[in-house]
Amino acid sequence: MEVTLSIDPLFLAWSYFRRRKFQKCSDICTKVLEDSPYDQEHDTLPHISEAAWSLKTRALTEMVYIDEVEVDQEGIAEIMLDESSIAQVARPGTSLRLPGTSQGGGPSPAVRPMTQSGRPITGFVRPSTQSGRPGTMEQAIKTPRTANTARPVTSASGRFVRLGTASMLTNPEGPFINLSRLNLAKYAQKPNLSKTLFEYIFHHENDVKNALDLAALATEHAQFKDWWWKVQLGKCYYRLGLYREAEKQFRSALNHQEFVDTYLYLAKVYQRLDQPITALNLFKQGLDHFPGEVTLLTGIARIHEEMNNITSATEYYKDVLKQDNTHVEAIACIGSNHFYTDQPEIALRFYRRLLQMGVYNCQLYNNLGLCCFYAQQYDMTLSSFERALALVSSDEEQADVWYNLGHVAVGIGDLPLAYQCFKLALAFNNDHAEAYNNLAVLELRKGRIEQAKAFLQTAASLAPHMYEPHFNFAILSDKVGDLQSSYMAAQKSEDAFPEHVDTQQILKNLRHHFAVL
Amino acid sequence: MPEVKSMFREVLPKQGQLSMEDVPTMVLCKPKLLPLKSVTLEKLEKMQHEAQEVIKQQELALREQQQAQPEQEQAQ
């Protein structure tokens, strides 16, 4: 006699969901729903299909879920048509927009490379730090040429939309829920369905307007007493760019219930409004309620870092590590800070710690290789770079690894190898301004002035924020006798790095020359 | 300490001028530590990559269909 045992399909789906096998969970839910369809129009439904429906929305949401606290991308329109700015020129130490206004005195670009927005590069990259804020419209439009991903026109047309279309691709029969036919008012009255439905609309469909409608109805139904809905309303307002409204909702949610996430969202609003000091105060308030909370401490450190105040950022990252000694971001940032303050041995220890923790990627091996080289542990250098090259996932990464290998070659005096490395960097990423500059220096050593000039000009046009190409061009032109070009290039170099002594020297000499004439 | 009589003696000019010229040299761009990626960023990139793959496959399938159709018409 045959006995076939089978689990209740809904239970199985639930089990798949808990094991994060969302596709399988969603498939089973689809079958359950086919057997006993959940009619979106009428109210005649058995509980089982209601549960399956809700579970499927959750599974689909989880598939494309990304942490909303982390996601932040400013479009050109938001940067240029900024309505929330109070003053044209912010006072020192009160703005994130002007990196030069820090009080702490950031690292000099002679030691630490800069990003396009004029900030020192950090040890860790998040979606919001991927491309810094450009200073002018011209720069904003140019940015996509050298950044890995193009900057969207507005944040509403950016990644969210792309992710929205990505989630549509996963079900070719069309969307699971037809939002336009949904009776939002009806769902808003069912607390057990409305929350999953909201998250589905917000994260999976990226339809912020409908999500906002649902949240507004639901919070009304909850008699404005549910902090969760207020946070969701705030999230919707934030995405729509209504920052002051978002602030109100988050504040009100905090009155109902102290919650770490709400603090983080609210701080995000203030950062977008360019009020870093308010954000810092808020984080400190949050720390009073949640002492030693790692995410809040990290938030403080990030703001200090963005304001070019690397020393206090490092202090806070150290605090983070006291609470959570496996915090990758803190370790990476402290490590890179040590590297660029002439302590590669200590940086090496931090990166080695990351390796022990199981971080295994191209960036880490590249950093290990560089630290080993500058800490004079030559045996490990090349093998680290070999690993890094084996682990690359994109051409840009490969270009960066070859660029750093070029530095190692320069360090050991193998100039032909260095030349080849920089050439390879350019082969993988045609926009690698640093490689162009270094190649120009090598070309000049070989005595090919015209070639060097061309490379320097390319580097300068690709990365106007770097002082090196301008400065080198000034020296080169000076040697050839083209004083006018030399003067112009030196001025650009001064704009990029006002404290550079050699640039000042050149300018002084040139001014003297011109005065004599 | 035993006295070591060295064959070489340092030469310090007692008269005349010692001049040194500081010539500005070209600067190299600095080595770049690559920033590590946050989990969210990695997930975002993975999702975008997967979506691109799906689109590519769909386009390929479409193209194959379009190529197959005229051949069928010719056969008929």
The DSSP symbol for A158 reads S
Q: What percent of chain A has pLDDT over 90?
A: 50
- On whether residue B53 sits in a domain, the answer given is yes
Average pLDDT across chain B, whole number: 80
Residue B57: list chain A partners with CB under 8 A: none
Q: What percent of chain A has pLDDT over 70?
A: 79
A60 in Cβ contact with A168 (< 8 Å): no
- On whether residue B14 sits in a domain, the answer given is no
Q: Hey, is the C-beta of B24 within 8 angstroms of any chain A C-beta?
A: yes
pLDDT at A172 over 90: no
Q: How confident is the model at residue A139 (pLDDT cuts 50, 70, 90)?
A: low
Cβ neighbourhood burial of A17 (10 Å; 0-12, 13-18, 19+): buried
- On whether residue B29 sits in a domain, the answer given is no
Look at B33 and A502 and tell me if their CB atoms are within 8 Å: no
pLDDT for position B8: 81
pLDDT for position A104: 44
pLDDT per residue as tens digits for the range A1-17: 456 678 888 899 999 99
Pick among A116, A130, A436, A500 to test the B interface (most B CBs inside 10 A): A130
Average pLDDT of the residues in A144-158: 47
Look at A437 and B41 and tell me if their CB atoms are within 8 Å: no
pLDDT at A182 over 60: yes
pLDDT at A110 over 80: no
State how many domains chain B has.
Answer: 1
- On whether residue B51 sits in a domain, the answer given is yes
Name the residue with tokens 């030399």: A486
The residue among A326, A303, A282 whose CA lies nearest residue A315 is A303
Min Cα separation B5/chain A (Å): 35
Question: What ipTM was predicted for this assembly?
Answer: 0.73
Look at B34 and A363 and tell me if their CB atoms are within 8 Å: yes
Look at A127 and B38 and tell me if their CB atoms are within 8 Å: yes
pLDDT for position A452: 95
**How far is it, in rounded angstroms, from Cα A489 to Cα A483?**
10
Q: How confident is the model at residue B49 (pLDDT cuts 50, 70, 90)?
A: confident
Look at B26 and A66 and tell me if their CB atoms are within 8 Å: no
- Report the residue from A165, A328, A437 with minimal CB separation from B29: A437
- On whether residue B48 sits in a domain, the answer given is yes
Min Cα separation B74/chain A (Å): 31
Q: Hey, is the C-beta of B23 within 8 angstroms of any chain A C-beta?
A: no
Q: How confident is the model at residue A438 (pLDDT cuts 50, 70, 90)?
A: very high
pLDDT at B30 over 60: yes
pLDDT for position A147: 40
Min Cα separation B59/chain A (Å): 12
A102 in Cβ contact with A116 (< 8 Å): no
- For A174, A213, A249, A318, B42, the CA distances from A187, given in Å and listed in that order, are 22, 11, 22, 47, 34
Neighbours of A21 (CB within 10 A): 14
- On whether residue B65 sits in a domain, the answer given is yes
Residue A34 or B23, more confident: A34
Min Cα separation B52/chain A (Å): 8
- On whether residue B73 sits in a domain, the answer given is yes
Range(s) of the domain holding residue B56: 38-76
Average pLDDT of the residues in A446-454: 93
Look at A404 and B32 and tell me if their CB atoms are within 8 Å: yes
Those residues whose C-beta lies under 8 Å from the C-beta of residue A288, and which sit 6 or more positions away, are: none
Q: What are phi and psi of B31, to 5 degrees?
A: -60, 145
Average pLDDT of the residues in A336-342: 90
pLDDT for position A122: 73
- On whether residue B15 sits in a domain, the answer given is no
